[in-house]
């Protein structure tokens, strides 16, 4: 069966957070949109993924759909304080002023599944159409548009497609685009625990260099709404099963969080992060635009994954709107290329920033070790070095050159 969309209807592949945001961004441009999703509407999504959203992301959401940014901000948890320790000694602390109820907060912390639930509700209210159980198995483009084939034998046709089908993107592979970049050999074990509602912990983000209770491994503790995430950086030569089996987790979690959390574990993952970016964000015919994890994968320190997937789709939707109203096919190609190139440049910037964060945490070269050691000494005398130690595990936060978006 062949299903042709109307002349202006755009298809989005994937109903993850980036695909749902793409659908809302297209609606904000006044375009009709259908989202094709391989899973069912009530599918369980495994793993603990995003929890931290920058103000920039909340602002994008609010702009494309008034009320959305605030819905996510209010559902999430805003940290009051962040602290960094070297061993037993605190080297940095920053307490934020109480949130202004009229301004979106600097960031918010909420499980990705909760964010997806809110996005889905807004998509339905905004008139986005969904086709669940539609796994795309083939994609091809020509100068007029895109043809997608799904595993149940249907064929879909549209002038433009935003591919948000995640890290293993079928659309990306079918149109001949490759991810390029390394896999980081270091392993990180990430554990989520359910918060104890009787005695919630303080909303403080903590980073420990050389945590004394876990034989000087680095540990990050991030509270989010109804939960806490603990992340331990394994050493080269560590056997991950000492840290990622139920017994192994109990052993270290009870030493970095109040011991009761050893019995409140909700998810355990072990990651060797990829630092990859697609060699192009659009196909040869300029009819498909890649976004989110279909286009780039970064280590999560600095929270650049979903936070950069959102500006990806804002740029894609704007480019598609301009292409659909262009007077000449060359003009249409040019605006799609502009959107794709802008976001690829941002992704390369983000990967570099994420690499700097990883280099700092891994401290493999003598320069990094020396800089860290000096910073600890200076931080004890109250100098700005403490701020460097606090921010370096998350990489620089500067804008990517030539783009309006930071991430």
The residues, ordered by sequence, that sit 6+ positions from 101 with a Cβ below 8 Å of its Cβ are none
Binds ligand FAD (CB under 6 A): choice among 69, 223, 309, 311? 309
Cα(39)–Cα(174) distance, integer angstroms: 20
Is position 315 an interface residue for ligand FAD (rule: CB under 6 A)? no
The residues, ordered by sequence, that sit 6+ positions from 109 with a Cβ below 8 Å of its Cβ are 51, 52, 53, 76, 77, 78, 79, 222, 223, 224, 225
Least distance to ligand FAD from the beta carbon of 236, Å? 21
β-strands 52-54, 33-36: how paired?
A: unpaired
Binds ligand FAD (CB under 6 A): choice among 76, 145, 159, 166? 166
Is position 227 an interface residue for ligand FAD (rule: CB under 6 A)? no
Listed ranges 43-51, 91-99, 350-358, 385-393: which one lies at the site for ligand FAD (CB under 6 A): 43-51
Is position 299 an interface residue for ligand FAD (rule: CB under 6 A)? no
Q: Which two tokens stand for residue 350?
A: 């983000």
Sign of CA dihedral 38, 42, 47, 50: positive
Q: Which two tokens stand for residue 341?
A: 């190139």
192, 266 contact by CB (below 8 A)? yes
Is position 300 an interface residue for ligand FAD (rule: CB under 6 A)? yes
Is position 13 an interface residue for ligand FAD (rule: CB under 6 A)? yes
Which helix or strand (DSSP H or E) is residue 277 part of? strand 276-278
Listed ranges 25-33, 42-50, 81-89, 373-381: which one lies at the site for ligand FAD (CB under 6 A): 42-50
Is position 111 an interface residue for ligand FAD (rule: CB under 6 A)? no
Is position 277 an interface residue for ligand FAD (rule: CB under 6 A)? no
Binds ligand FAD (CB under 6 A): choice among 5, 16, 252, 286? 16
Listed ranges 92-100, 198-206, 297-305, 346-354: which one lies at the site for ligand FAD (CB under 6 A): 297-305
394, 386 contact by CB (below 8 A)? no
Which CB sits closer to ligand FAD, 303 or 332? 303
Which CB sits closer to ligand FAD, 108 or 375? 108
Is position 38 an interface residue for ligand FAD (rule: CB under 6 A)? yes
Residue count at the site for ligand FAD (CB under 6 A)? 32
Is position 193 an interface residue for ligand FAD (rule: CB under 6 A)? no
CA atoms within 13 A on the CB side of 151: 10
Q: Which two tokens stand for residue 311?
A: 């500006």
397, 342 contact by CB (below 8 A)? no
Least distance to ligand FAD from the beta carbon of 392, Å? 18
Binds ligand FAD (CB under 6 A): choice among 12, 23, 37, 219? 37
Listed ranges 17-25, 66-74, 195-203, 280-288: which one lies at the site for ligand FAD (CB under 6 A): 17-25
Is position 164 an interface residue for ligand FAD (rule: CB under 6 A)? yes
Cα(396)–Cα(148) distance, integer angstroms: 39
User: CA 59: distance to chain centroid?
Assistant: 16
CA atoms within 13 A on the CB side of 375: 23
Binds ligand FAD (CB under 6 A): choice among 9, 34, 49, 281? 49
Cα(304)–Cα(54) distance, integer angstroms: 9
Is position 162 an interface residue for ligand FAD (rule: CB under 6 A)? no
Concatenating the DSSP letter of every residue in 29-79 gives TT--EEEE-SS-TT----S----EEEHHHHHHHHHHSTTHHHHHHHHSB--
Is position 51 an interface residue for ligand FAD (rule: CB under 6 A)? yes
Which CB sits closer to ligand FAD, 309 or 386? 309
Least distance to ligand FAD from the beta carbon of 101, Å? 24
The dihedrals phi and psi of 124, each to the nearest 5 degrees, come to: -65, -45
Least distance to ligand FAD from the beta carbon of 222, Å? 8
User: CA 23: distance to chain centroid?
Assistant: 17
How many other CB atoms are found less than 10 A from the CB of residue 352? 16
Is position 146 an interface residue for ligand FAD (rule: CB under 6 A)? no
Q: Which two tokens stand for residue 306?
A: 């979903």
Least distance to ligand FAD from the beta carbon of 196, Å? 22
Listed ranges 72-80, 243-251, 298-306, 344-352: which one lies at the site for ligand FAD (CB under 6 A): 298-306
CA 56, 228, 273 angle in degrees (round to 5)?
A: 65
Binding site for ligand FAD (CB under 6 A): 13-19, 36-39, 48-52, 112, 135-136, 164-166, 170, 190, 292-293, 300, 303, 305-307, 309
């Amino acid at each position: 069966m062949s299903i042709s969309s109307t002349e202006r209807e755009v298809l989005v592949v994937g109903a993850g957070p980036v695909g749902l945001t793409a659908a809302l961004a297209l609606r904000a441009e006044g375009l009709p949109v259908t989202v094709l999703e391989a899973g069912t509407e009530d599918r369980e999504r495994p793993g603990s993924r995003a929890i931290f959203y920058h103000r920039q992301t909340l602002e994008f959401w609010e702009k494309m759909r008034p009320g959305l940014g605030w819905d996510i901000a209010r559902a999430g948890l805003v940290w009051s304080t962040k602290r960094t320790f070297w061993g037993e000694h605190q080297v940095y602390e920053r307490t934020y002023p109480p949130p202004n109820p009229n301004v979106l907060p600097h960031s918010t912390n909420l499980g990705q599944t909760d964010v997806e639930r809110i996005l889905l509700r807004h998509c339905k209210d905004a008139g986005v159409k969904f086709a669940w159980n539609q796994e795309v198995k083939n994609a091809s483009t020509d100068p007029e548009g895109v043809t997608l084939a799904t595993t149940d034998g249907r064929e879909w046709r549209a002038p433009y497609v935003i591919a948000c089908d995640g890290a293993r993107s079928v659309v990306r592979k079918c149109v001949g685009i490759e991810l390029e970049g390394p896999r980081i050999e270091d392993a990180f074990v990430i554990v989520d625990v359910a918060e104890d509602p009787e005695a919630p912990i303080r909303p403080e983000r903590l980073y420990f260099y050389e945590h004394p209770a876990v034989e000087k491994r680095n540990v990050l503790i991030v509270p989010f709404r109804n939960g806490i995430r603990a992340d331990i950086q394994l050493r080269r030569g560590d056997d991950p099963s000492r840290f990622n089996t139920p017994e192994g987790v109990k052993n270290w979690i009870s030493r970095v969080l109040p011991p009761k959390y050893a019995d409140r574990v909700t998810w355990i993952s072990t990651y060797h992060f990829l630092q990859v970016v697609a060699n192009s964000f659009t196909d040869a015919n300029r009819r498909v635009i890649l976004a989110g994890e279909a286009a780039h994968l970064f280590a999560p320190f600095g929270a650049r994954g979903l936070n950069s997937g959102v500006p990806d789709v804002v740029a894609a939707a704007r480019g598609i709107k301009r292409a659909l109203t262009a007077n000449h096919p060359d003009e249409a190609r040019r605006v799609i290329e502009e959107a794709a190139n802008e976001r690829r440049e941002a992704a390369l910037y983000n990967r570099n920033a994420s690499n700097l964060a990883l280099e700092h945490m891994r401290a493999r070269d003598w320069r990094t070790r020396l800089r860290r050691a000096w910073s600890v000494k200076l931080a004890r005398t109250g100098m700005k070095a403490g701020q460097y130690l606090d921010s370096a595990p998350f990489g620089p936060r500067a804008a990517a050159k030539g783009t309006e978006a930071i991430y």
